[in-house]
Amino acid sequence: MVSNMDGNNDFIKKIPDTKVVEKKAMKIVAAIFIVVIFVVVIGSLVLANALLPYNREDTSTVDFKVESGWGSSTVVDKLYEQHLIKNAKLVKLYLKINPRDGIKEGTYPISPSMSVDEIFDLISSNKSKENATVSLKLIEGKRFVDYADDIHKVFDNISTEDIINKGKDKEYLQKLVNKYWFITDDILNDKLYYPLEGYLFPDTYNIRKNATIEEIFDVLLTELGNKLAVYKDDIETSGKSIHSLLTLASMVELEAGTGEFALSDGNTASEREVVSSVFNNRLSKDIPLGSDVTTYYDAKRSLQESIDDVLTICHGYNTREQANCVKVPIGPICSPSLSSIAATLNPATTEYYYFVADKNGKLYAAKDYNGHVEIINYLDQHDLW
């Protein structure tokens, strides 16, 4: 029995102490954990470095072209070839972990000072050079030739002459008639100076920098369509064609100011509504409109020039009684604002048949010619003429 007990004791002595084993295991786990943390930290630092700008100090840009069908892997390879990223393999790994969708073809200005995220944000946007926009501001009351020049100044690769010629191209104009609900065969009249006069809506636009003339016109025409759509019912019940509506509105635009007018019944109306009322009243009585601004347009002169020598010349635009020519011009004489269009559709109710503006632009109206003359004499006597 004694000898067996001694043997058991020897066996027991050979069994490792569990506390010792646990300590060793914990040391091993801790060592592995430290190694893993070290690898992760180092790996993260290496990856983070790969995502940093290739050269933060180099702010120059290159035109990086993304072709149709390119995926992120191809883009990364091309970026690496052009020295725009530091490490293609690590960037691809990063993109597997954080995939980027929506890469868009086009040419992008990319700089070595941009990070990987900044680069992929850019090429996933609509900000390629092909889609870059410029601001075009068109002021109401200006003529088509003025707009052609304004467009040329913003899109310097398009000449004023080309813009004017496109606006006279009968084949193109017919396409517009077929495309837009508010454009009719009226614009195909050979006697029109500029067929799209009055149809390019005055506003401020952001248009693609590389847009063609047709694309630019489409933006402006579409906006006019959007504005007119609100008044579609009024247009249909007005008894006026859209072409004649725009024509009268263009006259209102140049003849009226933006002020308020005190009516004889104690109410007020805008000056535009009063001018529109005078035109309406005259047309209803078959009286020539006698609008100077139509004669200026007919003579292709600015409002600062004299028209005394052309008052009797008959043309499709001259509404002066001396010319005995047309009641309403054959087309608009400028691009009217929305307020002039609205005033033409909804004129004030008055008994006025004459109006005149003083040298400060204030409007006066009269029911008959004698009253009109009295107003002019009053203005002359008070140094307002």
* Contact present, 375 and 269 (Cβ < 8 Å): no
pLDDT of residue 181: 97
pLDDT of residue 18: 67
- Domain limits of the chain? 2-51, 62-131, 133-229, 232-381
292's CB contacts (< 8 A; 6+ apart) are 307, 320
Return the C-alpha torsion angle 187, 191, 195, 199, nearest 10: -80
> pTM here?
0.78
Angle at 257 (CA atoms; ends 253, 262), nearest 5 degrees? 125
CATH of 62-131, one of 3.30.300.30, 3.40.50.970, 3.30.1340.30, 3.30.1490.480: 3.30.1490.480
**pLDDT tens for residues 184-237?**
999 999 999 999 999 999 999 999 999 999 999 999 999 999 999 999 999 999
**pLDDT tens for residues 177-199?**
999 999 999 999 999 999 999 99
* Contact present, 251 and 293 (Cβ < 8 Å): yes
pLDDT of residue 139: 97
Mean pLDDT by 10 residues, the chain (385 residues): 54 59 72 73 73 92 93 94 93 89 91 94 89 94 98 96 98 98 97 98 95 97 97 91 97 95 90 97 93 92 86 87 84 98 96 93 94 94 89
| Residue 63 phi, psi dihedral angles, 5° rounding | -80, 105
Exposed/middle/buried for residue 136 (C-beta within 10 Å: 0-12, 13-18, 19+): buried
